[in-house]
DNA sequence: AGCACGCCGACT
DNA sequence: GTCGGCGTGCTC
């Protein structure tokens, strides 16, 4: 029998990032298992913490001073051995704490909720009355002032107050009282017949129950209450005819009743792809496929059919979709094929709803999981296929710790289950496409559109001419004419404003002064609706100045282009047009995104104006015009992926036009009409773009030819951040071979965020076996030797280079 | 993270 | 002299 449990405690710090041994008390000896949460005392104050049991072991003589597990939180493991394993793999590969990884893998409600309570032991102690008033206990949190806190400490030291730590489990299982029918219809009928006449209500109840047994064995008390009072039910329970108990109800967000839809007939290319994937999943072969298919080539149908095949082999399927593409339309299609076996995980669900879906998956009730990035951790077992749609999407990479890429996690999990992974995209990331080239992934191509419709015609509009014509507007004549035509024909238009690295800010026309955030080194963004300036990094907000703070000139006004400004301009040009604006401001509220899309889909508006978020997934037959107002704001950014992003965005947005039987047209306004990313997007020529871009990456020694890792140092004082970065460089250099390329240290493009300065080093390398252990060591030691103010963050394969 | 221990400055 | 400032180190 095991007597010791290895526990990862809920303290995210380098020094505690290791298992701690705890004795398993006799009473819990048969209960405690790896993958469970437990409560343990930790540290000098012996505060109670939640921890995860990651291993059990036996020590003949336990070292003295071992604390014992106080209690278990779960009665059975909430993490399978596979997911437990995944947490340590994640911690190692992303340089994150294991506790952070464990919490990332699980739904948010499973995180411990801590409370520190002060109990008054000697009620007549001086100072106590002022703090406790008439109460015996007091929660200690940051509501208390510093003075109150010091008083509490004094009271504690004198023994008048005792601290207690409590851990609350936020994971509430919702229950409702229900009547359980534990007799057959015949028994109820018979029982009803034998009842004396005066028991009218009992008789009626039993007769009613007899009619229900065929349908269900559980009826919520609430639904019965309309016809039968609580006392009637109580009597029936006393006679052992029913039992009344709280049954678990899972909050389910089901779409409107949908009928199961049959498979579609496949084109030859689709059939070939399905056959290849089916063969791999049936053979339980670990193989990564790259499914490269133009918009409208029926990738989704390939996903659905291959998932169906996996289900027939009693295995499960996981489908990842970018958050932004997780539209009701998309989810509906999966429901229509798999019905109730589907679980959906996305950010629109409440914490409780997420927990319920998680439990449905864990219990094996859901065999197909559809979700965004974090759904890659779905507690599925026996996975037979993992699909990642729009695999090039940068939202698959988590920006904060653990800085994982869902693609890597998917492939890691697939290796465990010996199952294939399908990466799908019309514009694969260079990394994936290059791996397909090398034969690491198997390339499957869908070059034809299902409806045989031609891809929309793309017009490149040279905005430099617009300037020469002195049209000081964001709309070129050709795009404006195209919109006019659509309005006349009662067709819809989608206009996209590329906001990457771009926003409207306030600048003085006389002295050039730009209003900046006092905490961060970036200009504030103008928000017309709230008449204020906001910082997009820290949330700082201030009123729009009437005069320039620098030179007192009154000529201080906005500069640049925001959706709000474009909307005003559009409304001015087309007073009769109905416009829907979609950006972070109008879609912040829950369900707003869906509501706006629905309105547009119903034809309630003529023009949909939005940012990148409208480039994906939406599929409306009446849209025949797509306009990109500024195609190349991203091209100017100092990021080697700028061309790739521009190409992907333009290709994707172009796919929004002409989804129905009407022909679509696309206008791309740009100041770089000859740029290859724009020219090749016009021709819908991914393969040519891939070849061109690979060449450039090769010359610049960039991914996918090189691996990259970014090490950033931040500190409230700029010279300290810089100093740390240079020390980092000194430690890195001896461990690296001559082939590695080190960039920096350099201040970040936005050097200061939330009053912290950032310096970064980027290492480009092909094979550096000493690098990973060194980075792990750097994290260990920096926490000790530097001041507490210093943060070191390591990001493998960062997507954001600035 | 949070707590204790420990070593220095301005108060009863 | 001591109360309390925060710098350092440890938590099974």
CA separation for the pair A203, A201 (Å, rounded): 5
User: End of a domain among A106, A132, A152?
Assistant: A106
Is position A545 within any domain? no
Among residues A162, A169, A159, which one has the least CA distance to residue A110?
Answer: A169
Based on the fold, state whether residues A376 and A486 are members of the same structural domain: no
Based on the fold, state whether residues A679 and A744 are members of the same structural domain: no
Based on the fold, state whether residues A229 and A210 are members of the same structural domain: yes
Based on the fold, state whether residues A233 and A127 are members of the same structural domain: no
The whole model's pTM is what? Answer: 0.87
User: End of a domain among A401, A417, A446?
Assistant: A446
Domain holding A761: CATH number?
Answer: 3.30.70.600
pLDDT digits (tens, 9 = 90+) for A429-485: 999 999 999 999 999 999 988 877 788 889 999 887 766 665 557 788 888 889 898
The nucleotide lying nearest A44 (C-alpha to C1') is B3
Is position A530 within any domain? no
> Which carries the bigger pLDDT value, residue A308 or residue A557?
A308
Q: How far is the CA of A5 from the C1' of C12 (A)?
A: 10
The nucleotide lying nearest A13 (C-alpha to C1') is B1
Is position A79 within any domain? yes
pLDDT digits (tens, 9 = 90+) for A723-760: 889 988 999 999 999 999 998 788 876 777 777 888 89
Confidence of residue A501 (pLDDT cuts 50, 70, 90): very low
Based on the fold, state whether residues A323 and A217 are members of the same structural domain: no
Is position A537 within any domain? no
> Burial level of A390, CB count in 10 A (0-12/13-18/19+)?
buried
pLDDT digits (tens, 9 = 90+) for A519-557: 766 677 777 667 777 776 667 788 888 888 888 888 777
Based on the fold, state whether residues A681 and A729 are members of the same structural domain: no
Is position A233 within any domain? yes
pLDDT digits (tens, 9 = 90+) for A371-427: 999 999 999 999 999 999 999 999 999 999 899 999 999 999 999 999 999 999 999
Q: How far is the CA of A787 from the C1' of C9 (A)?
A: 14
Mean pLDDT over A771-782 rounds to 86
User: Residues contacting strand B at CB < 7 A?
Assistant: A 11-13, 15-16, 43-45, 47, 114, 116, 163
User: End of a domain among A651, A676, A696?
Assistant: A696
Residue A57 sits at φ, ψ, to 5 deg, of -150, 170
Domain that includes residue A688, residue range: 457-503+560-696
Among residues A729, A720, A733, A726, which one has the least CA distance to residue A786?
Answer: A720
Q: How far is the CA of A357 from the C1' of B2 (A)?
A: 35
pLDDT of residue A258: 62
Is position A737 within any domain? yes
Domain holding A59: CATH number?
Answer: 3.40.1440.60
Is position A524 within any domain? no
The nucleotide lying nearest A45 (C-alpha to C1') is B3
**Any known ligand binding at A535?**
yes
Could you give the dihedral angle defined by the CA atoms of residues A778, A783, A787 and A788, in that order, rounded to the nearest 10 degrees? 140
Based on the fold, state whether residues A597 and A497 are members of the same structural domain: yes
Based on the fold, state whether residues A89 and A226 are members of the same structural domain: no
Instruction: Give how many domains chain A has, as a whole number.
Output: 6
**Any known ligand binding at A101?**
no
pLDDT digits (tens, 9 = 90+) for A23-33: 999 999 999 99
Give nucleotides in strand C with any atom < 7 A to a protein C-beta: 4-5, 8-12
Based on the fold, state whether residues A152 and A186 are members of the same structural domain: no
Lowest mean pLDDT among A31-35, A327-331, A685-689: A327-331
Q: Are A627 and A495 in contact (CB under 8 A)?
A: yes
Left, alpha or beta for A539 (phi > 0: left; psi -120 to 50: alpha)?
A: left
CA separation for the pair A725, A761 (Å, rounded): 7
Domain holding A630: CATH number?
Answer: 3.40.50.300
Based on the fold, state whether residues A312 and A396 are members of the same structural domain: yes
Q: How far is the CA of A151 from the C1' of B9 (A)?
A: 22
CA separation for the pair A391, A387 (Å, rounded): 9
Is position A27 within any domain? yes
Percent of chain A with pLDDT over 70: 92
Angle between helices A686-700 and A430-437 (to 10 degrees): 100
Based on the fold, state whether residues A420 and A302 are members of the same structural domain: yes
Give nucleotides in strand B with any atom < 7 A to a protein C-beta: 1-4
> Which carries the bigger pLDDT value, residue A707 or residue A186?
A707
Based on the fold, state whether residues A771 and A622 are members of the same structural domain: no
Edge-to-edge strands, sheet with A707-715: A741-753, A756-765, A707-715, A791-796
Q: Are A502 and A633 in contact (CB under 8 A)?
A: yes
pLDDT of residue A718: 84
Q: How far is the CA of A44 from the C1' of C12 (A)?
A: 12
pLDDT above 90 for A707: yes
> Which carries the bigger pLDDT value, residue A112 or residue A501?
A112
| Residue A261 DSSP SS3 | coil
> Burial level of A733, CB count in 10 A (0-12/13-18/19+)?
exposed
* Element housing A389 (H / E): strand A383-389
Q: Are A355 and A305 in contact (CB under 8 A)?
A: no
**Any known ligand binding at A713?**
no
pLDDT, chain A, mean? 86
CA separation for the pair A666, A148 (Å, rounded): 65
CA separation for the pair A600, A33 (Å, rounded): 52
Residues 6+ apart with CB under 8 A from A655: A294, A295, A296, A426, A455, A456
């Amino acid at each position: 029998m095991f007597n010791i449990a290895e526990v990862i405690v809920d303290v995210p710090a380098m020094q505690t990032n290791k298992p701690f041994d705890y004795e398993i008390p006799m009473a819990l000896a048969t209960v405690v298992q790896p993958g469970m949460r437990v409560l343990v005392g930790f540290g000098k104050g012996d505060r109670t913490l939640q921890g995860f049991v990651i291993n059990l072991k036996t020590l003949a003589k336990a070292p003295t001073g071992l604390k014992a597990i106080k209690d278990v939180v779960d009665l059975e493991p909430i993490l399978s051995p596979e997911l437990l394993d995944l947490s340590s793999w994640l911690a190692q590969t992303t340089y994150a704490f294991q506790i952070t990884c464990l919490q990332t893998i699980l739904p948010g409600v499973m995180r411990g909720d801590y409370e520190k309570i002060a109990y008054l032991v000697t009620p007549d102690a001086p100072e106590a009355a002022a703090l406790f008033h008439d109460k015996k206990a007091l929660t200690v949190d940051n509501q208390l002032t510093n003075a109150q806190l010091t008083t509490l400490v004094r009271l504690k030291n004198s023994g008048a107050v005792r601290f207690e730590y409590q851990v609350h489990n936020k994971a509430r299982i919702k229950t409702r009282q229900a009547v359980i029918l534990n007799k057959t219809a015949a028994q109820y009928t018979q029982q009803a017949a034998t009842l004396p006449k005066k028991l009218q209500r009992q008789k009626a109840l039993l007769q009613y129950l007899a009619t229900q047994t065929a349908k269900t064995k559980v009826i919520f008390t609430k639904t019965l209450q309309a016809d039968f009072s609580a006392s009637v039910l109580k009597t029936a329970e006393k006679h052992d005819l029913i039992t009344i108990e709280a049954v678990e109800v899972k909050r389910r967000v089901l779409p409107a009743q949908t009928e199961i839809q049959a498979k579609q007939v496949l084109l030859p290319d689709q059939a070939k792809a399905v056959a290849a994937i089916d063969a791999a999943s049936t053979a339980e072969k670990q193989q990564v496929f790259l499914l490269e298919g133009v918009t409208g080539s029926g990738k989704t149908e390939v996903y659905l059919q291959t998932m169906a095949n996996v289900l027939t082999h009693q295995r499960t399927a996981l489908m990842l979709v970018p958050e932004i593409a997780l539209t009701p339309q998309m989810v509906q299609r999966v429901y229509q094929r798999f019905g109730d076996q589907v679980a959906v995980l996305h950010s629109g669900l409440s914490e409780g709803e997420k927990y319920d879906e998680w439990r449905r998956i864990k219990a094996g009730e859901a065999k197909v999981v559809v979700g965004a990035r974090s759904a890659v951790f779905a507690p599925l077992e026996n996975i037979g296929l993992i699909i990642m749609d729009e695999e090039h999407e940068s939202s698959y990479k988590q920006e904060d710790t653990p800085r994982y890429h869902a693609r890597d996690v998917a492939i890691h999990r697939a290796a465990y289950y010996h199952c294939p992974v399908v990466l799908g995209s019309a514009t694969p990331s260079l990394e994936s496409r290059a791996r397909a080239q090398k034969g690491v992934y198997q390339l499957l191509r869908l070059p034809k559109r299902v409806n045989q419709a031609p891809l929309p015609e793309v017009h490149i509009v040279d905005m430099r001419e617009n300037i020469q014509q002195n049209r000081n507007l964001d709309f070129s004549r050709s795009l404006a004419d195209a919109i006019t035509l659509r309005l006349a024909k009662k067709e819809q238009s989608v206009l996209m404003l590329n906001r990457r690295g771009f926003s409207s800010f306030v600048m003085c026309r006389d002295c050039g002064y730009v209003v900046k955030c006092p905490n961060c080194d970036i200009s504030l963004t103008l928000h017309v609706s709230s008449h204020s300036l906001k910082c997009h990094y820290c949330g700082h907000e201030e009123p729009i100045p009437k005069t320039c703070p620098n030179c007192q000139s009154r000529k201080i006004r906005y500069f640049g282009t925001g959706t709000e400004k474009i909307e005003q301009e559009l409304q001015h040009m087309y007073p009769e047009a109905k416009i829907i604006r979609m950006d972070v401001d109008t879609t912040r509220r829950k369900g707003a995104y869906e509501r706006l899309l629905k309105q547009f889909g119903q034809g309630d508006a003529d023009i949909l104006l939005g940012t990148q978020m409208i480039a994906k997934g939406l599929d409306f037959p009446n849209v025949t015009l797509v306009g990109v107002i500024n195609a190349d704001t991203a091209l100017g950014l100092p990021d080697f992926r700028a061309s790739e992003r521009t190409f992907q965005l333009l290709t994707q947005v172009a796919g929004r036009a002409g989804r129905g039987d009407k022909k679509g047209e696309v206008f791309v306004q740009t100041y770089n009409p000859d740029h290859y990313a724009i020219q090749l997007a016009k021709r819908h020529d991914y393969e040519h773009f891939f070849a061109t871009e690979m060449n450039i990456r090769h010359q610049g020694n960039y991914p996918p030819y090189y691996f990259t890792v970014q090490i950033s140092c931040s500190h409230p004082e700029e010279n300290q951040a810089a100093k740390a970065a240079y020390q980092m460089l000194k430690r890195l250099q001896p461990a690296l071979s001559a082939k590695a390329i080190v960039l920096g240290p350099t201040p970040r493009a936005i050097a200061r965020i939330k009053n912290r300065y950032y310096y970064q080093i980027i290492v480009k390398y092909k094979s550096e076996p000493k690098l990973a252990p060194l980075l792990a060591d750097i994290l260990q030691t920096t926490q000790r030797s530097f001041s507490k103010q210093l943060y070191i963050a390591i990001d493998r394969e960062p997507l954001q280079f600035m």
